[in-house]
Amino acid sequence: MCAAAMAQPILWPLQARNLDTKLRNWAGNLDFSTDRLYSAQSVDQVRDYVTKQEKLKVLGTRHCFNNIADSKHAFLSVMSMNDVIVLDPRAGTVIVGAGMTYGKLSPWLHSKGFALHNLASLPDISIAGACTTATHGSGVKNGNLSTAVSALEFVNANGDLIPLSRAQNGDAFQGAVVGLGALGVITKLTLDIEPTYMVRQFVYENMPLSELKNHFDEIESAAYSVSLFTDWQNRRISEVWLKVRDGDGKRFDAPAEFFGAKRATRNMHPIASLSAVNCTEQMGVPGPWYDRLPHFRIGFTPSAGKELQTEYFVARKNAVDAIQAVEQLHEQVSPHLLITEIRTIAADKLWLSPCYGQDSVTIHFTWKPEWPAVSALMPVIERQLAPFNPRPHWAKLFTVPPEELRAKYVKMREFLELAQKFDPPGKFRNEFLNKYIFDT
Ligand SMILES: Cc1cc2nc3c(=O)[nH]c(=O)nc-3n(C[C@H](O)[C@H](O)[C@H](O)COP(=O)(O)OP(=O)(O)OC[C@H]3O[C@@H](n4cnc5c(N)ncnc54)[C@H](O)[C@@H]3O)c2cc1C
The tens digit of pLDDT for each residue in 222-281 reads 999 999 999 999 999 999 999 999 988 778 889 999 999 999 999 999 999 999 999 999
Element (H, E) at 143: none
Q: What does the alpha-carbon distance between residue 36 and residue 13 come to, in Å, rounded to a whole number? A: 7
Q: Are 262 and 268 in contact (CB under 8 A)?
A: no
Q: Which atom of ligand 1 is nearest to the CA of 60?
A: 30
Q: Which residue has the higher pLDDT, 22 or 379?
A: 379
Element (H, E) at 268: none
Q: Ligand 1: which residue has its CA nearest to atom 53? A: 63
pLDDT above 90 as % of the chain: 91
Q: What does the alpha-carbon distance between residue 160 and residue 50 come to, in Å, rounded to a whole number? A: 9
The Cα-based distances of 183 to 105, 155, 275, 403 in angstroms read: 25, 8, 41, 21
Q: Using a 6 Å CB cutoff, which residues line ligand 1?
A: 26-27, 57-64, 68-69, 78, 98, 120-122, 125-126, 128-130, 132-133, 135-136, 180-181, 185-186, 302-303, 393, 395
**Separation of CA 217 and ligand 1 centre (Å):** 29
Q: How confident is the model at residue 18 (pLDDT cuts 50, 70, 90)?
A: very low
Between strands 75-77 and 37-39, the pairing is parallel
Q: Are 101 and 82 in contact (CB under 8 A)?
A: yes
Q: Which residue has the higher pLDDT, 14 or 45?
A: 45
Question: What local confidence, expressed as pLDDT, does residue 16 receive?
Answer: 45
Q: What is the pTM of this model?
A: 0.95
